[in-house]
Structure 1
Amino acid sequence: MDSKQLKRILEERLQGDQRSFSYDREKDELRIENVETKKGITISLPGIIAKWKQHKEKAIDEVAYYVEEALAVMGKTPSLAQQEKRIFPVIRSTSFPKEAAEGMPFFTDDHTAETRIYYALDLGNTYRLIDESLMKKENWSAESIREMARFNLRSLSTELKRDEVAGNIFYFLNTNDGYDASRLLNDKFLKDMSQQVEGEMTVSVPHGDVLIIGDIRNETGYDVLAQMTMSFFTNGHIPVTALSFMYEHDRLEPIFIMAKGRTKQ
């Protein structure tokens, strides 16, 4: 499949009375926009083509779904005051945009060298990242949003699936609620897990819909972890980081895993 074919398929899938399409040949990007609000979303075609080679129609279905959900909430101004229980922190890569398409800065907090914290207002099937204009409109302080987001995060399930590979234990959290990687910010959850781990504890968030905790008991475990996180990272819809973190003394330290060993950054 090439860009021309993908462009045609997406235009057919996303066609609507109030929508317009524009294609930037130089950047190989397709923009879908609401003709009334002039708000829209721009998608890069090469990345979708790469996923299509692996996942075929599933890759296109996924893109179409997220575009539809994003367009559905654009132009709406939900009230934070009425949605206190729906505010959550969201983990993203430090390369993720810090501004909305209109140039309005998102509300963010620094986290690690690999990750940044954003804040979202849950809207059911999707969510809207909170930006400074929404905060100003609702007269909400940064600290209030942080407190509500952390409180709501602790209410989410932390049920894990367990797997053993070469004498090492790996735990997976993958509820697909949009906040799996965000459990990285649940301090009590991480502390409780550290009490169960017999070896060295690692935490990985290769993409937004998974969190992996490793109980690494031998050097092979690091090789397995490196391969696992890279696989999740390359196949995730919203990649975060292929690096993992050591969890020691209630702190996260990024590590670079080489063959038969690991090095702290």
Structure 2
Amino acid sequence: MKALELIRLFKTKMTEEIYMYDYNRETNKLRLTHKQLGKGMDISIPPILAKYETKKEEAINEVVYTIQETFSAMEKEMAGEIDPTLAVYPVIRSTSFPLKSNEGNRFVTKDHTAETRVYYALDLGNTYRLLDEKMLASWNVRETEIRERALFQVRNLKTNYKTDEVAGNIFYFFNNNDGYDASRILNESLLKEMKKQISGDMTVSVPHQDVMIIGDIRNETGYDVLAQMTMHFFTVGTVPITSLSFIYDKGDLEPIFILAKNRVTKENEDK
């Protein structure tokens, strides 16, 4: 499938009576504007085409659902139906993720690691809205209050996981499909509890928004498995974050670089 074919398919699901389409061939991005709301969003075409190769119609439906829910949230915000006292959660994004909204408003963020940054979102049920400084000002709410509330909420998320063993290494998958699986990396109590049951090196991975993987790496093969696993999840995720994993030790997250069959840490690389 090519870009124009994909856009034609979008038009069958999101009609031009409601949406205005503006495709930029140079950037390979689609600007989709809701005519009634007068608001729009930029959609990168290549990642969707890549997912279509494996997920076919399901990939298209996921994107359409996300778009429609996002515009629905915008409509509620414009109508004053969003209550700032609703649940606020932290969300993890790559450091390459934009710092400002399409309208130019700066998002509320917090530094996390060299690979990841924390954003904050207002939960709206089927979707969420990233918070920016303009929204907080209109609600007369301080950033510190938002951060504290979000951290409290993430600690209350379910901590269910599935376990898999590969070549003597144990992997724990947190995949609750609530939109905040990667956010669980901010739950320090959870990480400390997992550390108690791990006998090898403890790794933490957030390749995309909807999964967190904790590894009990007991041999060198485990690092190869981890590298392949995180890269796979990174490429298929709806919201990719990072294909790198982190060593968790004494409350710190240190990025690790796995090359061939050798483990190379950032610390060692700097030496």
* TM range, smaller chain: over 0.9
Distance 2:206 2:123 in 1: 20
Q: Residue 10 of structure 1 aligns with which residue?
A: 10
Aligned residues with identical type, % of pairs: 55
Secondary structure class of the residue paired with 2:76 = coil
Report the alpha carbon displacement of residue 44 of structure 1 after superposing the two structures with TM. Answer: 1.8
User: SS where residue 156 of structure 1 aligns?
Assistant: coil
Structure 2 residue matching 1:76: 3-state secondary structure: helix
Q: State the distance in 2 between where 1:75 and 1:58 align.
A: 26
Match of 1:110 in 2: 111
TM-superposed CA distance for 1:26, in Å, is 2.5
User: Which is worse superposed, 102-111 or 30-39?
Assistant: 30-39
1:9 counterpart letter in structure 2: L
Structure 2 residue 50 is matched with structure 1 residue 50? yes
Per the alignment, residue 269 of structure 2 pairs with: none
- The corresponding residue for 1:79 is 83
Name the CA distance, whole Å, in 2 between partners of 1:154 and 1:47. Answer: 32
Provide the residue aligned with 1:217 in structure 2: 218
Normalising by structure 2, we get a TM-score of: 0.94
Separation in structure 2 between the aligned mates of residue 124 and residue 243 of structure 1, nearest angstrom:
30
Paired residue type of 2:21:
F
**Structure 1: unaligned runs, 5 residues or longer:** none
User: 1:107-186, aligned counterparts within 5 Å?
Assistant: 107-186=108-187
Say whether 1:235 aligns with 2:236.
Answer: yes
3-state secondary structure, aligned to 1:163? strand
Mapped contact 1:23–1:29 kept (Cα < 8 A): yes
Query: In structure 2, how many angstroms separate the alpha carbons of the residues matched to 1:256 and 1:171?
Result: 20
Which stretch of structure 1 is more off in the superposition, 231-240 or 26-35? 26-35
Q: Residues 94-132 of structure 1: CA distance to partner in whole angstroms, max 9, x if unpaired? A: 011111111101000011000000000000000000100
The Cα of 1:75 is off from its aligned counterpart by 4.2
SS state at 1:42 partner: strand
Name the count of aligned residue pairs: 262
- Give the drift of 1:59: 1.3
Deviation string, structure 1 residues 196-215 (Cα, Å, up to 9, x no partner): 10111000000000000000
CA drift at 1:27 = 2.1
Task: Give the C-alpha shift of residue 190 in structure 1.
Answer: 0.2
* 1:93 equivalent in structure 2: 94
The corresponding residue for 2:201 is 200
